[in-house]
Each structure stands twice: as C-alpha cells, then as structure tokens.
C-alpha cells in the first residue's frame, strides 16, 4: 500500500506546455489511493482543460475566486482548500508562478491557496532551458526551499522549443515516487520496529475441540495498520482471526495457542523498539491434550486446567530498551486492577477497557479506552472507532519514543 493512500493531494497547475502531463499525474495519485483536488491558473486552461482534470480527479477543478457562471456567484474559499490538503504539489511550476510564490504575489486562486496551505508543499518546475538557467529562477528555487518547500528538479531532454537541456517537468511516475519516498522518510515511526499481538488463542482439548474466547483481533489489526501507516516495520503475531491485512510493512505471523504466541513473541522481542500486547491470551490450558477425540459418556467430564505462561509479564522481565504496552479488560475495580498489572508486568503504560462501558468489548467496531501511565497518570478517551483508538494509542507511543 502506498504511503499516499487516503492522503488529500492538492495539485496546483500553472501555465506551461508541460501542463498536459498533469492528466497522467492525477491518475498516478489516484492509483496510489490519494484523494485529489486540482486548482489551476486561468492561463493553464489553454494547455489542459478543467474537464479533463475534473474527470480524472473525480472532483471539480478550481481556477477562479468565484464561480462566474452562477447567477449568485459562489466564493471559492482558498483558505478551506489550503487547509484541506495533506500535501500540495505545484506542477508544472512556471518561472512566473515560482517568482510570484517567492514574493507573496496573490493574483490568482492557485497563489492564494498556496499562501493558505499549512501542509508540505512540493514544486516541480518546467520551462525552457534559458529560463531554467536564469539567475532569477535559480533565486526563486533557492528561496522556496528556504521557505521549507520541497523542490522536485526538472529533468534534461528535448524541450517544447526544440532546445535540448534541463527544463522538462519530471515524469509523473517519478514525481509521485519522489513524494512517496519523501513522505515515508518523514513518518514518525520510520525506522522503528513494532511487535503487536492480536486475537484470541485456542487451547486444544483433543484433536477437534479447544478452549477459546470471543476476541476478533480487530483492535490488534487496526494497531498494526496504523503503526505501518506511520512508517513502522510491524510484526503482527495473531491467534486465529478472520481479519485481513495487506501492507508491505506488516509481517503477519499466525499462531494458535498461548505457547505458540509466547515463542513467536520471544523470537522477535530483542529486535523491536515497541511491543503492544493486545491479544486475549488464554490464562489456562488443558493439562493434557487427548490424542483421540474424547467420546461422549453419561458421566460428567472433568478437564484439568493449568496456567499458561503470561507472555506480557515475561516480556516485562526481558525488557531492555523496549517500550512495553499492555491491555487490560476489566469488569470491576478497573483502575486499581490495571495499575496492578502495570507493576506486575513492568509496563510503560496500559490500555484499559471496561466491559461496563457500552462502546467497549470483543468483536465491536468501537472501543472506549483509558490510558494509565507507569507514573499512574490517567488519560480518558471518548468512545471511538477502533481505527481512531489505534491512532490515539500510537500518538502516546510516539510521544514516549521522542522524549
């Protein structure tokens, strides 16, 4: 999955012949899973029509401060547009647009939107050889990089004028790859390795039966997705679950029992920076697993249970540099029980769910959590969707990794 998936990309098109390439550029962003809006200078409509760009982006194209054709003209809010974007790209950026951006000139909607954007701004110039070489263009590019904007250099080749040299707009595939790589390198969990446990465990009674629980694995899978979207390399160790995940940064390891999960966790724990144990691990397992299916009899059946290993507590014992996070599902005396688990299992913080809260519990799409730190400070969160809960938990993890 691309790092641009779900990102809001605002493409600013200025008036150069390379504007024809923006049709392909929009397609590339859409293919990467981004949502695209286009703002173009009025003159650029001579090179590429708004109809082409609105059809490909599936959004209306903006080019004037208000919709002239309407009887009651509607204001095109450049501030909203600028704030909407996660990423703004100006491509092609002509010498004229670069100079205006540098000097805060604001005589078209693209420039007003640029001045309102709070997100990372990329600019990909395209112009003729002599214009690209001109000291004023070089000064504009330097100034814009000093503003913190990201320069995507023009490439060399045959130019529309017939001259050969630097000034061609970088190819759309290369522009998108450049932005993907740059975005990835800025993600807060880039370079970090995160182990996550998820789902239930099944403890065999005989070849056909087991003791399990109702955990769906949803919370752990959402955590894995969110951590990978923030740039982490994720090892997801999951008990039996129907959840699916496909992300190039997630390695899924399927296990069945608490013992399997224990060994898989210890195989990887030394190499990770963070471990989050969200699995609902069985606390007991049958003392003996019958070799053959246990046959029905009239008498009652006793199954002797013995404790499983507490995976999280064992990771707490081994803990060196790792940030260790546990979950606690409680029905009563919630905060006191959770604090006890922080101490017993040597955790950095614990995510508490109370089954008394309506939006929390197994197999639900929402969760309501309280985060208790090892210094016992408490943060309470509203009922949220599990993807949003995962983001909240990772925000706390990122804060702790960076202090």
Residues that bind ligand CTP (CB under 6 A): 197, 258, 277, 279, 281, 283, 308, 310-312, 326-329, 341
CB of 344 to ligand CTP, least distance (A): 8
CB of 272 to ligand CTP, least distance (A): 15
Return the number of the residue (76 or 241) whose C-beta is nearest ligand CTP: 241
Q: Give CA–CA dist 122/49, Å, rounded.
A: 22
Paired tokens of 67: 């919709």
Return the number of the residue (130 or 283) whose C-beta is nearest ligand CTP: 283
- Give CA torsion, residues 209, 215, 216, 217, to 10 deg: -110
Return the number of the residue (114 or 349) whose C-beta is nearest ligand CTP: 349
Pair 166, 129: CB distance under 8 Å: yes
DSSP classification of residue 35: E
| 238 bridge partner residues | 198, 254
| 371 bridge partner residues | 351, 379
Paired tokens of 60: 């209306």
Q: Strand 366-367 relative to strand 164-168: parallel, antiparallel, unpaired?
A: unpaired
DSSP H/E element including 379: strand 378-380
- Within a 10 A sphere around the Cβ of 284, how many other Cβ atoms? 14
Q: Give CA–CA dist 291/274, Å, rounded.
A: 39
Residues involved in catalysis: 213
CB of 237 to ligand CTP, least distance (A): 11
CB of 235 to ligand CTP, least distance (A): 15
Return the number of the residue (310 or 348) whose C-beta is nearest ligand CTP: 310
Q: Give CA–CA dist 198/236, Å, rounded.
A: 7
- Chain centre distance of CA 27: 21
Paired tokens of 200: 């239930």
């Amino acid at each position: 999955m691309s790092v641009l998936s779900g990102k809001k990309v605002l493409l600013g098109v200025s008036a150069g012949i390379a504007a024809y390439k923006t049709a392909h550029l929009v397609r590339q962003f859409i293919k990467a899973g981004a949502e695209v809006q286009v703002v173009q200078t009025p003159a650029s409509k001579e090179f590429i029509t708004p109809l082409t760009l609105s059809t490909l982006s599936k959004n209306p194209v903006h080019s004037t401060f208000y919709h002239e054709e309407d009887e009651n003209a509607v204001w095109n809010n450049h501030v909203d547009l600028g704030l909407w974007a996660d990423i703004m790209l100006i491509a092609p950026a002509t010498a004229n647009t670069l100079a205006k951006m540098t000097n805060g000139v604001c005589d078209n909607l693209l420039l007003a939107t640029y001045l309102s954007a709070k997100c990372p701004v990329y600019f990909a110039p395209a112009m003729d050889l002599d214009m690209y070489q001109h000291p004023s263009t070089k000064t504009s590019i330097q100034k814009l990089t000093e503003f913190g904007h990201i320069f995507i250099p023009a490439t060399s080749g045959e130019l529309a004028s017939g001259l050969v040299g630097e000034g061609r707009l970088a190819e759309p595939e290369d522009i998108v790859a450049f932005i993907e790589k740059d975005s990835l390198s800025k993600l807060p969990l880039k370079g970090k390795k995160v182990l996550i446990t998820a789902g239930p465990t099944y403890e065999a009674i005989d070849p056909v039966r087991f003791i399990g629980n109702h955990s769906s694995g949803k919370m752990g899978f959402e955590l894995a997705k969110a951590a990978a979207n923030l740039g982490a390399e994720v090892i997801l160790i999951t008990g039996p679950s129907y959840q699916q995940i496909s992300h190039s940064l997630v390695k899924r390891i399927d296990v069945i029992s608490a013992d399997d999960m224990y060994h898989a966790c210890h195989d990887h724990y030394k190499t990770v920076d963070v471990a989050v144990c969200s699995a609902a691990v069985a606390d007991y397992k049958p003392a003996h697993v019958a070799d053959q299916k246990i046959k029905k009899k009239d008498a009652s059946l006793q199954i002797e249970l013995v404790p499983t290993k507490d995976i999280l507590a064992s990771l707490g014992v081994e803990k060196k540099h790792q940030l260790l996070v546990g979950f606690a599902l409680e029905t009563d005396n919630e905060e006191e029980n959770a604090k006890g688990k922080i101490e017993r299992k040597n955790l950095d913080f614990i995510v508490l769910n109370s089954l008394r809260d309506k939006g929390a519990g197994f197999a639900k799409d929402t969760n309501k959590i309280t985060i208790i730190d090892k210094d016992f400070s408490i943060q309470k969160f509203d009922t949220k969707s599990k993807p949003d809960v995962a983001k909240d938990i990772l925000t706390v993890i990122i804060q702790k990794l960076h202090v």
